[in-house]
Amino acid sequence: MPDTPPRPEPFLARTPPALLEDLRARLRATRWPDEPEDAGWSLGTDLGYLRELVAYWADGFDWPAQEAALARLPRFRVALGGLGIHFVHARAVAPAGPVLPLVLSHGWPDSFWRYAKVIPLLTDPGAHGADPADAFDVVVPDMPGYGYSDRPAGPPLDSIAVAGLWAELMDVLGHRRFGAAGGDIGSHVSRYLGLDHPDRVVAVHRTDGGVPVYGGDPADLAPEERAWFDGAAAWGAAEGAYAALHRTKPQTAAFGLNDSPAGLAAWIVEKLRAWSDCDGDVERSFTKDEILTNVTLYWLTGTIGSSMRMYRANAAIPPAQLARRVEVPSGFSLFPGDIVRPPRAWLERTANVVRVTEPARGGHFAAFEEPELYARELRDFFRPYRSAFAR
């Protein structure tokens, strides 16, 4: 008798009031560290700002309202690879032409939250001043160990394995061919979708070129590539301690971050500020409610440790995998506030590049920071592939 195919089930998150009371009690009982005078953000998260954020989290932030807003997205769970995977599956509204399915992959430190603003712009472009013919069917999964997806009980999954799960998910949803897009770890996942499933992926869009790894003679690199490698190394020395910890001893940090909501907020908000196009003021890119929605998702799901462990899995990917070139048509939108932006020479070395743009605004979290710009980038890039998909 054939196996029964996985069946997605509607998903609705409802947080018990007792969990929110526990959260508020922990916030009010925070044991604050000292801080050198005038340190600001130079040593990490600014004490004054975090006190303000935590006070609002404890006594002003309305999680039930945010939870209800997220519940308006069509959300599901399905069993894949022995794990329950949570995802958004939003269908195109009143399409005026071929509808291209699109899977969007998030990174760290976030979840499906990254794309919450951009989903309606992609499914119903006509309602937002764009061409209805550019509508997508949008799928936004939480990676295993993030958000409302299950945490792997054994070793964490790497980006190659997650790409395999997403290919299976798209099959379950009836999307035999589709586009893939993402940034951060989601950029890696999208890359491996193109590498390992080129018969199914019509094109890949990314907002970065990944971590620079090159096994050949450095003399063979173009001058701008060598400069980029040097810049990435300098960035790693100044800003990369978090990633080294995630790759090596994530469990040690997880004890504190999973126990202290103030500590969790400090770990995440510093990256939201440093990696966004906010000119040092995190609330130019994210409101307090937006920041705390992201952090509260981590708190309530208990996924900070499991999310960090994916860095360890990705660090073990063999160099031969990292050296593969993506032959599926690839596009890149390099936002000005993002970190370690690659030169075109590197992109063309590693992928079949058909389009590179540099939008005027936005950073590492461009889909959330500048959803209209990001949606336009995706519509423009994938437009030529709709007719091929229709055939």
Residue among 134, 158, 364, 374 flagged as catalytic:
364
- Cα angle 283, 103, 320; round to 5: 100
Secondary-structure breakdown of the chain: helix, strand, coil percentages, each rounded to the nearest 5: 50, 15, 35
DSSP result, 304-317: HHHHHHHHHHHHTS
Token duo for residue 150: 């299950």
What are 105's strand-pairing partners? 182
Torsion of CA 74, 24, 249, 109, to 10 degrees: 40
Which amino acid type is present at position 391?
R
Residue among 134, 137, 184, 277 flagged as catalytic:
184
Residue among 311, 338, 374, 385 flagged as catalytic:
311
**Residue with tokens 């769970």, as numbered in its chain:** 77
Whether 364 is catalytic: yes
Q: How far apart are CA 382 and CA 373, in angstroms?
A: 14
Could you tell me the strand order of the sheet in which 136-141 lies? 9-10, 75-80, 83-90, 136-141, 100-105, 178-182, 201-206, 326-333, 351-357
DSSP β-ladder status, 83-90 and 136-141: antiparallel
Residues 6+ apart with CB under 8 A from 42: none
DSSP β-ladder status, 326-333 and 351-357: parallel
Q: How far apart are CA 139 and CA 91, in angstroms?
A: 9
Whether 115 is catalytic: no
Q: Is 107 helix (H, G, I), strand (E, B) or coil?
A: coil
Whether 205 is catalytic: no
Q: How far apart are CA 47 and CA 56, in angstroms?
A: 14
Cis peptide bond upstream of 101, omega within 30: no
Q: How far apart are CA 344 and CA 222, in angstroms?
A: 10
Q: Which residues are marked as active site? A: 184, 311, 364
